[in-house]
Amino acid sequence: MAHLTFNQVAIRAVATAVPSFVQKVDLSVRRAQKFAAQMGISQRHISITEQTSVDLGYVALQDALAHAGWQASDLDLLLFDTQTPDFNVGNAMLMQHLLKLRPDALVFDQTICCASFPYSLSTACTYLMQPNFYKAAIVLGDTCWSLYQSKEELLAAQRFTFGEGTSVVLLERDEQEQHPIDLWLFANGEGYKYLFNTTTSLRNAWRRYEHFSVPDGAKYGSRAQGYEALYMNGFFITYFASKNMSDEIKKIWGDDILNYDYYVFHQGNKQIIDLLAAPLHLPQEKVLTSLEEYGNTNGASPLVTICHRLAHNDHGCHIFNASMGAGLAWGFTDFYLKPNTVCPVRATDYRCDEFFFHELPAPQEVG
């Protein structure tokens, strides 16, 4: 077990940006009604104008910087965790360009899927222990509109799981900080086969079978595209999140798990959250959620939840987080939010048109 403690790092601001467009589950359809009740998702914010996590991250980071009273040039580190980068150069590079960060600021991407909050926090805090690092930003976000073949297909969806949002945490090395950040990180690579996208990356790129089986033996009826390309062994993932993670929490914390002000779990779906909270006997009013309004916002979901539920917090909050994602990777986070560190969720239409390709007339043949 990787248990990391950081005694001299303070959280200065938390901010989130989401697309302005809201799509609701079509409750006139009986199957969608059942889905909404089981998943706990009634709507989501999603882009219909090709916004990406860079666009949303740019807005969220500006909000966070203004809230903390920082300038973009103050940042020594910008870490962007995403599964859906704009380009393979990395979203952190694009953010550095947009915000005009110093050339000597360290910027890079990492990909830990839905466990990105504890893992990104551990990476940023580790760098802040180095002599020349004082202020850092972690940016977590993914977009899912591109899983659909067109805007028309997206708008026709009667039910859905994933929503869009990008969140930012500003961190500062502070020798006077009295509240440590504690992290417990885990991984089991055997779990790679239970949750993944069947069409991304290189493996199986030439194996475009009409009928095939995925590594855990499940049959995939046809070569899925877009949203249907996401494969999840629902039974295994639900069992793992509810049973294995709750058992691990009991083993580490025992009855002390009840001593937190709030609990913020990865917002996979209502069933997973309930099955994780129930064995721990957590007070329902302390288990914060955001999926009913924003859907599953992937790795950003704990921070989306904090901005949704604790904006303008006028008192300090001791928070416990549990996140898990593809791999499998999972982690627990024990942290403290000082008063007035959380910004409300910002709905935005901003997008950076600089990064778009633009269609040109077909070249004329010569001769």
Strands 9-19 and 165-173: antiparallel
The stretch 66-92 carries a mean pLDDT of 97
Give pLDDT tens digits for 155-201: 999 889 999 999 999 999 999 999 999 999 999 999 888 888 877 77
The DSSP secondary structure of 215-262, one letter per residue, reads TTS-EE-S---GGGGEEE-HHHHHHIIIIIHHHHHHHHHGGGGGG-SE
Q: What's the CATH number where 299 sits?
A: 3.40.47.10
| Mean pLDDT, residues 71-86 | 97
> Does 162 reside within a domain?
yes
**Would you say residue 251 has pLDDT above 90?**
yes
217: left (phi over 0), alpha (psi -120 to 50) or beta: left
Classify residue 367: in a domain, yes or no: no
Mean local confidence (pLDDT), 20-45: 90
Quick one: pLDDT at residue 327?
A: 87
Q: Which residue has the tokens 């950040």?
A: 181
Question: Quick one: angle between helices 270-277 and 245-253, nearest 10?
Answer: 30
Question: What is the pLDDT, as a whole number, of residue 29?
Answer: 84
Arithmetic mean of pLDDT over the chain: 93
Closest CA to 298 of 18, 27, 90: 18
For residue 207, pLDDT beyond 60: yes
- Residue 157 identity: A
**Structural domain count, the chain:** 1
Is residue 362 one of the residues assigned to a domain?
Answer: no
AA identity, residue 165: G
366 domain residue, yes or no: no
363 occurs within a structural domain? no
How far apart, in whole angstroms, are the C-alpha atoms of residue 164 and residue 146? 11
Q: Which domain holds residue 143?
A: 1-351
160 touches 194 (CB < 8 A): no
Quick check: is 57 in a domain? yes
358: in domain: no
The pTM (predicted TM-score) of the whole model is: 0.95
Residues 296-327: tens digit of each pLDDT: 999 999 999 999 999 988 999 999 999 998 88
Q: Give the model confidence (pLDDT) of 288-298 as tens digits.
A: 999 999 999 99
CB 124 within 8 A of CB 77: yes
Residue 360 lies in a domain: no
